[in-house]
Structure 1
Amino acid sequence: MYDQIVGAALVLLNGPPASGKSTLAERLVAVRPLALNLDIDLIRGQLGGWLNQPTEAGLAARALAISMIDTHLRSGRDVVVPQFVARPDFIEQLERAAARADASFVEIALQLPREEAVSAFESRRRSPTSSTHQNAADLVDLTNATDPLGEMHDALQLFLDERKSAHRINVVRGNIDSTLATLLHTLAECGANW
C-alpha cells in the first residue's frame, strides 16, 4: 500500500486528551516504512523543568517539531502529529511546513462526547501507562479551572466549528480498530492512501 502514495503526507490527529490520538498515530506509522510519529508531548517532556514553564515549553516543543517535520517531509517521508490543538497558529505552521515540502496536509479531528472524553482522561489519570500520560495529568492539575477537561473539550469543539477543512472522525471508545478503520478510510478519501 505504501507505493500508492505520491509525495509525502503530514497528518494532524487532533482531539481531546485521551481520545486515542497517540495510539492511532502509533498504529498508522507501524504500516508505513520510516513514517514519523511525532508526539510533541514527548518532546516537551524532554525539556528540563518544563512543568515550571508549561506554556514556554509547549511552544519550544512545537518549534522543534516543525524543524523535524520540515526535515522528514523534505526527505519524502510521512509524518503523523498527535496533538490537542484549539487555536489556529500551530495548524497554520503545519500547513506551511507541508507546502514547503510539497507534501499533502490532512487535518483529522477525533470526536467523542464531552462526558466520554472526561471519563477517558480520568481513567487514564488513575492508571497512567506512560510518562506522557502522567505529564498530561500534571499539566491539567496546574490549571485553576473547575472543570479543565470539560473546558478543553468545549474549546476544541468551538475551534473545530471554524475548521471546515478538518475531517471529523467519531471515536469508538474501547474499539481502536474500528476508529482506525474509519481513519484509514478518511485518509484514502483525502488521497493519502495509507
Structure 2
Amino acid sequence: MKLILLNGPPGSGKSTLARRYADDHPPALALDVDRVRAMIGGWRTEPGRAGLLARELTLAAARTHLTAGHDVVVPQLLARPGFAERLEELAAETDASFHEIVLLPDLAETRRRFAGRGESEVETAHPLTEEDLATAYDRVAEYASTRPGAAILDGETAYQDFVAALT
C-alpha cells in the first residue's frame, strides 16, 4: 500500500491527480486537507487554526485507511517542514511505501491553469492574487529542493508521469 503526498502550488493539478488516482485504484482515498478544513466550523475566521486541525484529522483518516490496507493520496500545498515529515512517519508506522510528488509546471502554465479553474470555497478564506500565486509557487519550489526523495514533475504528461513516479 502507498501513502502519496502530492505537493504543488495552486492550479498545479494536485486535487485532480489525487482524484484520478483514487478512481483508477479503488478503494484508494483522495484525502484533500482543504476539504477537511472546510468542514470545520469557523474555518474562514480562523483558517490557520482550522488548517492545523484539518491536518490532524487527515493524519487520523490516513492511518485508518492505510491500516485497512488501502492507498491514500494527500494533495496539499506544502512550503515548510512539518507535515510532509509526519506523513512519512505515518507511512513507516503502517508499513506503507511513502511517495512524495511535487507538481511544478512552469509559472506561466500554473497561472493559466489557476485562472481557468472555477471558484472553490474550500481553498482559501482570502482570494489569491497573481502575486500570492507567484509567491506560493516560489515557496513550494524552494521547499521541494530540500526534500531529496521528492519527485518533481513539470506537468506536461502529469498523470502518466505521476503513476510512473510511484514505481
Fold-level match, TM-score > 0.5? yes
SS in 1 for 2:121: helix
The answer to whether residue 153 in structure 2 is matched with residue 169 in structure 1 is yes
2:106 to 103, 107, 113: 113
Structure 1 residue 121: Cα displacement: 1.7
Max Rg structure: 1
- Check conservation: 1:15, 1:21, Cα contact below 8 A: yes
The answer to whether residue 148 in structure 2 is matched with residue 155 in structure 1 is no
- Check conservation: 1:54, 1:139, Cα contact below 8 A: no
- CA distance in 1 between counterparts of 2:130 and 2:72 reads 35
SS in 2 for 1:43: helix
- CA distance in 2 between counterparts of 1:20 and 1:69 reads 21
Q: Once superposed, which parts of structure 1, at least 4 consecutive aligned residues long, lie more than 2 Å away?
A: 133-141
1:184 to 145, 163, 166: 163
Counterpart position of 1:3? none
* Equivalences, count: 167
SS in 2 for 1:42: helix
- Between structures 1 and 2, the one with greater helix share: 1
Letter in 2 for 1:139: H
The alpha-carbon distance between structure 1 residues 146 and 182, as it changes in their structure 2 partners (threshold 3 A), is closer
- Check conservation: 2:8, 2:78, Cα contact below 8 A: yes
- CA distance in 2 between counterparts of 1:65 and 1:136 reads 16
- CA distance in 2 between counterparts of 1:138 and 1:121 reads 16
* Superimposed CA distance per residue, residues 63-100 of structure 1 (whole angstroms, 9 cap, x where no aligned partner): 00000111111111110111111112000110111111
Gap runs ≥5 in structure 2: none
Identity of aligned residues (%): 40
SS in 2 for 1:50: coil
- CA distance in 2 between counterparts of 1:77 and 1:168 reads 24
Task: Name the TM-score, length of structure 1 as normaliser.
Answer: 0.81
Structure 1 residue 123: Cα displacement: 2.6
The answer to whether residue 97 in structure 2 is matched with residue 104 in structure 1 is yes
- CA distance in 2 between counterparts of 1:154 and 1:94 reads 22
Structure 1 residue 146: Cα displacement: 7.6
Counterpart position of 1:15? 8
Counterpart position of 1:175? none
Task: Name the TM-score, length of structure 2 as normaliser.
Answer: 0.93
- CA distance in 2 between counterparts of 1:119 and 1:138 reads 22
